[in-house]
Structures are given as C-alpha cells and as structure tokens.
C-alpha cells in the first residue's frame, strides 16, 4: 500500500495555492522517495515469494495456480509502481533529486518484461522440459552460426 492519494492531495494544495509553505517541495520530494522505497521493497518481497514458492516442481499439477498468484502480484505491483514512477518523475522534473528513481525505472522495465511470461506459457515450458521436448543451447548456437554463414 502506498500513500499515492496523500501525494496527490498535497500536489493539489500546491496547485490551488494553499497557504504558502516554503518547505513543501522538499517534503514532496521526501514523500516521493518514501513511495519509491516502498514499491521497491514490495518488489523485493514478491521476488522472495517467487523464489520460495514459485518452483513448479514443488507443486506439480497445482503449479499453474501458484504461478498465477505470483503473476498477479507482479501485475498489481506494476500498476502501483507506474503511478509512483509518474509522481516521482514530476517531483524530479521540478528540480528535486529523488533517490533510487533510476532503480524504480529499471525495476518497472524488468517487471514489464516479466509479465510477458504468463503462467500458462511457463507451465507449457515446464511440461516441455519434463517430457524432454527441448533444444539444447549447443543446437541453437550451431543453427545461429549456420545462418550467419549462409
């Protein structure tokens, strides 16, 4: 859970010309940093859950349900992180440094790519591994080399 509504309310007060507060830009930057830290910590926890519980070997046939739950955690995180990223960029654009903003940008990119691997795709890949329907890295490398030399 983040304090995005609080951040938005503070920004609205700023825009609407509430009582002048010379410390407001500094306090907004501090809040933005806390939001960034919070979503990055959430992502660390999701990664830990995935490492701990996301191995399909552990759950067998019910693995897809577990993988879907983990996928949903990433999906929810991505939505919230994008909101935090937008707000942190606003503060940064006003000349205030936001620690770990670059880390959040990188994390959003990684999670966006991660969401391209659906639980169903992962389960299909695992089934292919179990049944031996795989292509070795050596075979792929040789095929790529052959294509380059044509």
- pLDDT tens digit sequence for 61-109: 677 888 899 999 999 999 999 999 999 999 998 888 999 999 999 999 9
Three-state DSSP class for 131? helix
More confident of the two residues 150 and 117: 117
User: Is a pLDDT exceeding 90 seen at residue 39?
Assistant: yes
More confident of the two residues 132 and 99: 99
Whether 90 contacts 101, CB under 8 Å:
no
Domain ranges of the chain: 4-118
pLDDT at residue 104, as a whole number: 98
Using CA atoms, how far apart are residues 83 and 44, in angstroms rounded to an integer? 18
pLDDT at residue 20, as a whole number: 67
User: Is a pLDDT exceeding 90 seen at residue 130?
Assistant: no
């Amino acid at each position: 859970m983040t304090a995005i509504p609080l951040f938005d309310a503070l920004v609205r007060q700023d825009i609407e010309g509430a009582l002048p507060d010379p410390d407001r830009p500094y306090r907004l930057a501090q809040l933005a940093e806390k939001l960034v830290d919070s979503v990055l910590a959430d992502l660390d926890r999701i990664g830990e859950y995935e490492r701990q519980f996301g191995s399909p070997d552990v759950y067998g046939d019910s693995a897809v349900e577990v993988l879907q739950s983990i996928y949903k955690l990433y999906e929810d995180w991505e939505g919230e992180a994008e909101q935090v990223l937008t707000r942190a960029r606003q503060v940064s654009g006003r000349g205030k440094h936001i620690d770990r903003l670059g880390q959040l940008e990188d994390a959003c990119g990684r999670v966006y790519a991660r969401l391209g691997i659906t639980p169903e795709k992962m389960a299909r890949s695992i089934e292919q591994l179990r049944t031996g329907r795989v292509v070795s890295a050596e075979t792929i490398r040789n095929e790529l080399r052959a294509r380059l030399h044509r």
